[in-house]
Amino acid sequence: MSAIATNLQAVRTRISTAAKAAGRPPESIALLAVSKTWPLSSVIDAATAGQRAFGENYVQEGVDKASATVDRDLDWHFIGPLQSNKTRPVAEHFAWVHSIDRLKIAERLSAQRPADLPPLQVCVQVNVSGETSKSGCQPAEALALCQAVAALPRLTLRGLMAIPEPVDDEAGQRAPFRQLREIFETIRAAGLPLDTLSMGMSHDLEAAIAEGATIVRIGTAIFGERNYA
């Protein structure tokens, strides 16, 4: 068994353990393998071990990997900040976008989604930590943005995504996830049928699952530490 396959098995065990501790069925949480900066061979290794959903932060890198694996029936999720001049390749090659933070991006994705593909599954990113370096709409803007996105053709609004500021203690990890879940519940109560909370990464997936995550985005724990050099 390859190192990536072994790591995948370990991450799935963590997800299952965390789900059971939260009184949730493990199958209610999907694993998104974040393959950004890793070579195509790592993606194929993970796919061979049964992983189907992959997340990418950089448009061209993600398009290249999606194009190279078209025969493998993988789901490609775009999870990074998206500039308006990069929306077309994302609309054409990805199944999901988690990082919609303003209406202009959603409008362009809607207009550029090819008619022969299923609607693009999308999440609105919320900046729950208030970090100026992070993308995401403000919590107070999330309902209005979701309502506007949900009205667009060729998109299906699924839920919310967040990347909280990393902290070490569980209580500190859970607080922003709880905030995102409360925003999610408010939007559902307003009549939008959201079903997705994309939150939690390698260091805090247990806290995210305890607060209701339905997709956890895991990179390091599967592929190893990244070398951005």
Of 86, 85, 94, 88, the closest CA to residue 65 belongs to 94
* Residue 41 pLDDT exceeds 80: yes
Total domains, the chain: 1
Average pLDDT, the chain: 96
Residue 229 lies in a domain: no
The SS3 assignment for 120 reads strand
**Which contacts of 197-200 are long-range, i.e. CB under 8 A and separated by 24 or more positions?**
197/159, 197/160, 197/161, 198/32, 198/79, 198/98, 198/123, 198/159, 198/160, 198/161, 198/162, 199/160, 199/161, 199/162, 199/164
Q: Give every CB contact of residue 146 below 8 A, 6+ residues apart in sequence.
A: 124, 157, 160, 187, 192, 194
The predicted-structure confidence for 58-99, as pLDDT tens digits, reads as follows 999 999 999 999 999 999 999 999 999 999 999 999 999 999
Q: What are the beta bridge partners of residue 216?
A: 31
Backbone angles phi, psi at 6, to 5 degrees: -65, -45
| The pLDDT of residue 175 is above 80 | yes
229 has pLDDT over 70: no
Report the CATH number at residue 188. 3.20.20.10
Containing structural domain, residue 135: 3-223
Strands 196-198, 155-161: pairing kind? parallel
pTM over 0.85: yes
pLDDT digits (tens, 9 = 90+) for 151-169: 999 999 999 999 999 999 9
**Based on C-alpha coordinates, what's the Rg of the chain?**
17
Closest CA to 33 of 73, 96, 76: 76
Residue 228 located in a structural domain: no
pLDDT at position 228: 64
Question: Is residue 193 assigned to a domain?
Answer: yes
> Is 204 inside a domain boundary?
yes
pLDDT at 227 over 80: no
Q: How many CB atoms lie within 10 A of CB 202?
A: 18
Structure tokens at 138: 């403000």
Cα 209 from chain centroid (whole Å)? 14
Averaged pLDDT, 109-129? 97
